[in-house]
Chain A
Amino acid sequence: MYLGLTGYNHESSAALVDKEGKLINYYREEVLSRIKGDKSFPKRSIKKILEFHNLTKSDIKSIAFYERPLTAFLTPLQVAAFNIPQSLPLISHQCRNFDKSSISCFLDLSKEFSGLEEKLIYLDHHLSHTLTALPYSQIQENLCSIVVDGFGDRSSTSICKVNDVYNINELWSCEYPVSLGLFYSAITDFLGFQVNEGEYKVMGLAAFGKKDSAVAKKVSDLIYWDHKNKKIISDMSYFKYHISPTDSFNNKLINLLGDPRNPFLSLLPEDDNFQHFADIAKGAQDKISEILCEIFKYAYSITRCKNFLFSGGVASNSAAISKIAELPFVDQIIVPPSPGDAGCSIGASYYAYLKNQKNLISNLPTPSIYPSRFNSNDQKLISKQIIASNFKLISSNSNDAIAKIVSLIKNGEIIGTVLNNAETGPRALGNRSLICDGLNKKAVKTLNTVIKNRSPFRPTAPCMKLSTAKKYYELRPELLGCYKYMNATCKCIDGSISNNFPTTHVDGTVRLQIIENDQILYKILTYLEKDNIDILANSSLNISGDPTSFDLIDGLMICSLRPLKYIFTDFGLLESLF
């Protein structure tokens, strides 16, 4: 068995690959600790993996950590050292928190799981991303891997040629502090949202912005692609993320764009400053899309590959991916379901596996959509009194429960799901979801704003069968793999009724999920189609700002905190009596 780990600088997680190279378990630390974006050493994830599979330390052959700790520690420090004295607070902070950096991985492993530390190996951060994306591709040779994130262990963007699984050559990189990810995060911060959490909101807000507005152009000028020298240029005088432990932008950016948004003020289309902030978001979103297209063009020119792996936090920008797919040379773009750093433990575990094979491997098996092992029956006993006091078991038979769910959805109800094994995240794909009739405006609005407490300007994703999607949306063949994981947006067909669906964003796009016939949502939709409901709205089972629910108790807790009446579990459909 082979473990992969992430943590410290970014979201922590652990993944397990078996001796056949199959991903058999994966946990994000945040879903177990319930602390959103938890980046502490993933001890709960490791413990849960060891317990679930009844593994002893001797069963673990190798453990790979997703970055090279000393490089990750020294690179930002050296950049800061060039900016003395402004960067003294950052250098002081980093040095005093040395024990919280990834250098501690070895010590933490030896403290919590003594003996395992001897099996610890490391790989480059962007290689972790590449190896995370690779198994999701049917083609695993002669590919181009593009990784774009905030900061890895040295660079923020890289292009690699994947000749085969053992031969992954880096051809180009963009060195920190110039970073598309950190630029976008700084704008996220400026707009009053949390860094590493609010980037989705910026993407949603951008759809309301005007690209020709003066402020959008000002944002656009902050970072650009240098065609001559083939590199990203960023005017760092507007940013502070490389010199400050707390701030990502400085007064120069405030002088340029006006006051940042007060995070406690509402942000609704009818509010005074809404358009101004939407224009800022638009400037950042368009710029990201434009530079990504340039990176892909350059990648094609140096690799001549038409099939791309795309990963890193910026690959979560589903709106940008649809623009990239329009480039004429692109045949296919593969984005893993968890393109950010939390997914990197998957790549790290594959690395540990590959490094320990005597015979050469040509292909890594495609991981399941639901690799995170948990069954709600595991908590049925301990939840007995919670359920008896606050819930009613409507149906314990799976087929009967589905029939009832269909009837409830037709009546505009919203259903939560806690079903066998969970998604990699961050997108819920049916097993940790909130679903309702995707054509019912009231139900979709209630799901989005009442149950989830999300900003009203953020759209809810629709989910459907491929045949339905073809009727309403301009699907791109290059992105068919992405649609499975909600990784890319697409446009509604001109004049189609889909333009008026409640899941359609203000710019006429949707971030759809295409489901396959082995998924529970497929079964539900098959019944609903008889009543002309061919689209479900699907959002993650959580309250805005919290991690997605993982186990049964998390799901029951959401029912107790929000007006969610129904929850579908492995042992039946429950009705909340709260």
Chain B
Amino acid sequence: MKKDNYRFLDVIQETACAEFGSALEMLAACKSSNKESLAYGYFEHSKDEYFHTSTFLSLLSKAGRKYPAVIARKFRINANSLITKGYVSSEGYLIEKMPLKDFIAYVYTNELLAKQSFEKIFELVKKDEKDANQILKIMKDELRHHGMAEKYFLKYYPRLQPWQLKMYRIRETIKNKGRKFYDKNLKFLDQVLKPLYFFMAYLASRIILLIDINGFKREGINLMEIKPKSII
């Protein structure tokens, strides 16, 4: 099977992770809200994102079945990979890190960007009517979320003008493109630097072999009496 064929699995896997990450972000926002209407809005938003995740997992499952097990295994989704792939920051959820105003502007912008990404996915799945309809529905959801964020933003922050929201959008678009550029080049850089990493790993292994780990053995020792400050 050609390597290009894996791209579809890759795209669907990444999108499932992104939607799952969004569901968790919105759930966290719901729990940290101080207004019941806002909590309700984020609850509904999170629910939509969970359904989107489920749609992409179904697409992944459907596509993954056609591949040999050794390939398909690589596209399983592990919740911890949301952090390692950067869909959820290891520093915490966005709502835990940024002011509500910025968070709403972030949602406003990113829902629109997500909709644009789904247009590309639509092109990939449009041969299958059922799949295409699901993606269309998700695109509508994203537009709705975008509109609701805008409405909320302008209602609760009336001093801010629509053009300021556009500035947020431009800023996020640039950041998003920057992220993609960084990710792409990081992967490239990773390949270029691989021999150097391996050489350094080799040197590290030589040093590690010099350490006598027999000292870590505990046979015959009262474990309660080992120094509590010791990291060995």
Q: Which residues of A contact B (CB under 8 A)?
A: 33-40, 43-44, 64, 68-71, 74-75, 77-78, 80-82, 84-85, 87-89, 91-92, 95-96, 103, 121-124, 126-127, 130, 153-154, 158, 160, 165-173, 189, 192, 194, 197, 254, 259-265, 351, 354-355, 379, 381-386, 389, 545-546, 551, 553-554, 556-557, 560-561
Q: Is B123 an interface residue (CB 8 A)?
A: no
A141 to B231 Cα, complex, angstroms? 28
Across-interface contacts of B222 in A (CB, < 8 A): 167-169
Which of A171, A172, A262, A355 is B65 in contact with, Cβ under 8 Å?
A: A262
Interface centre among B28, B67, B222, B229 (most CB of A within 10 A): B222
B198 at the A/B interface (Cβ < 8 Å)?
yes
Also in contact, A68 and B208, with CB within 8 A (given A124-B226, A170-B221, A385-B36): no
In the complex, A210 Cα to B192 Cα: how many Å? Answer: 49
The answer to whether A263 touches B220 (Cβ under 8 A) is no
CB of A553 within 8 A of CB of B31, answer yes
**Given A40-B90, A84-B205, A355-B228, A259 and B217 contact (CB-CB distance below 8 Å):** no
Between-chain CB contacts (< 8 Å), 25 pairs:
A35-B83, A70-B231, A77-B208, A84-B205, A92-B200, A92-B201, A95-B201, A123-B223, A123-B226, A127-B223, A158-B218, A165-B224, A169-B220, A170-B223, A192-B69, A259-B69, A259-B70, A262-B68, A262-B72, A264-B63, A351-B228, A382-B34, A386-B39, A553-B27, A557-B46
Counting chain A CB atoms within 10 Å of each CB, which of B67, B205, B229 scores highest?
A: B205
Q: Which residues of B contact A189 (CB under 8 A)?
A: 73
- Asked if B161 lies at the interface with its beta carbon under 8 angstroms from chain A, I say no
Q: Using Cβ atoms and an 8 Å threshold, which residues of chain A touch B88?
A: 33, 35
Query: Residue B27 contacts which of A34, A127, A171, A545 (CB distance < 8 angstroms)?
Result: A34
B1 close to A (CB within 8 Å)? no
| Chain A proximity of B207: nearest CB distance (Å) | 9
Q: Which residues of B contact A91 (CB under 8 A)?
A: 201-202, 204-205
Contacts A88-B198, A91-B205, A556-B43 given; does A384 touch B36 at CB 8 Å: yes
In the bound complex, what is the Cα–Cα distance between A151 and B208 (angstroms)?
19
Q: How far is the CA of A35 from the CA of B93 in the complex (A)?
A: 12
CB distance from B75 to the nearest CB of A (A): 8
With both chains docked as a complex, state the minimum distance between the C-beta of A185 and any C-beta of chain B, in angstroms: 13
Could you tell me the distance between the alpha carbons of A360 and B80 in the complex, rounded to whole angstroms? 42
Q: Quick one: given A169-B223, A262-B68, are A386 and B43 in contact (CB under 8 Å)? A: yes
Is A386 within 8 A of B223, CB to CB?
no
Nearest-CB residue, chain B, relative to A262: B69
Q: Give the CA-CA distance A167 to B201 in the complex, in Å.
A: 40
B47 touches A95 (CB 8 A): no
Are the C-beta atoms of B69 and A551 separated by less than 8 Å?
Answer: no
Question: Chain B nearest CB: distance from A270 CB in Å?
Answer: 17
**A-B residue pairs, 7 tightest by C-beta:** A264-B64, A81-B205, A121-B228, A385-B40, A92-B201, A91-B201, A36-B79
Q: Are B208 and A81 in contact (CB under 8 A)?
A: yes
Residue numbers in A under 8 Å from B68 (CB-CB)? 259, 262
Check B80 against A37 for contact (C-beta < 8 Å).
yes
Interface presence of B182 (CB below 8 A): no
Pick the residue among B80, B206, B226, B230 that contacts A38 (CB under 8 A): B80
A180 to B41, CA, bound (A): 47
List the B side residues contacting A78 at CB < 8 Å: 208-209, 211, 213
- Number of B interface residues at 8 Å Cβ cutoff, please give it: 64
A87 to B201, CA, bound (A): 9
The answer to whether A169 and B60 touch (CB under 8 A), given A88-B198, A123-B228, is no
Q: A264-B64, A379-B31 are in contact. List 15 more A-B contacts (CB 8 A).
A: A35-B80, A35-B82, A38-B79, A68-B232, A77-B208, A78-B211, A81-B209, A85-B202, A95-B201, A260-B70, A262-B68, A263-B76, A265-B65, A553-B43, A557-B50
Q: Does B134 contact A (CB under 8 A)?
A: no
Q: Which of A71, A173, A383 contacts B219 (CB 8 A)?
A: A173
Chain B 39-66 interface mask (CB, 8 Å, partner A; 1/0): 1100100110011000000001111110
Interface residue? B24 (CB, 8 A): yes
For B216, give its contact among A43, A71, A264, A557 (CB under 8 Å): A71
A171 touches B204 (CB 8 A): no
Q: Choose one: A121, A154, A546, A560; the contact of B217 (CB below 8 Å).
A: A154
Contact, CB under 8 Å: B216 / A88: no
Q: Which residues of A contact B229 (CB under 8 A)?
A: 121-122
| Bound: A259/B33 CA distance, A | 49
- Is the C-beta of B5 less than 8 angstroms from some C-beta in chain A? no
Chain B residues with CB under 8 A of A546: 79
Check: B95 CB closer than 8 A to any chain A CB. Answer: no
Q: Is the CB–CB distance between A167 and B224 below 8 Å?
A: yes
Q: Does B188 contact A (CB under 8 A)?
A: no
Q: A33 vs B83: C-alpha distance in the bound complex, in angstroms?
A: 11
Q: Do the beta carbons of A64 and B47 come within 8 Å of each other?
A: no
Q: Are A168 and B223 in contact (CB under 8 A)?
A: yes
Query: B92 an interface residue at 8 Å Cβ cutoff?
Result: yes
**In the assembled complex, which residues on chain A have CB atoms less than 8 Å from the CB atom of B64?**
262-264
Closest to B57 in A: A545
Chain A hits for B216, CB < 8 A? 68, 71, 75, 153-154
In the assembled complex, how far is the CB of residue B54 from the closest CB belonging to chain A, in whole angstroms? Answer: 8
Known: A81-B208, A557-B46. A261 touches B69 (CB 8 A): yes
Q: Are A260 and B43 in contact (CB under 8 A)?
A: no
Q: Which residues of A contact B60 (CB under 8 A)?
A: 264
Q: What's the least CB distance linking B213 to chain A, in Å? A: 6
What's the nearest-Cβ distance from chain A to residue B5, in Å? Answer: 15
Report chain A residues within 8 Å CB of B61: 264
Tell which of B83, B198, B217 touches A40, judged by Cβ atoms closer than 8 Å: B83
Closest to A11 in B: B80
A560 contacts across to B, CB distance below 8 A: 43, 47
Residues of B within 8 A of A554 (CB): 27
* Residue from A33, A194, A553, A557 within 8 A of B78 (CB atoms): A194
For B63, the chain A residues whose CB sits under 8 A away are: 264
Instruction: From known contacts A74-B208, A194-B78, A259-B69, infer whether A381 and B36 are also in contact, taking CB-CB under 8 Å.
Output: yes
Q: Mark B122-146, 1 if CB is under 8 A from A, else 0.
A: 0000000000000000000000000
Interface: B149 (CB within 8 A): no
Residues of chain A within 8 A (CB-CB) of B39 are 382-383, 385-386, 553
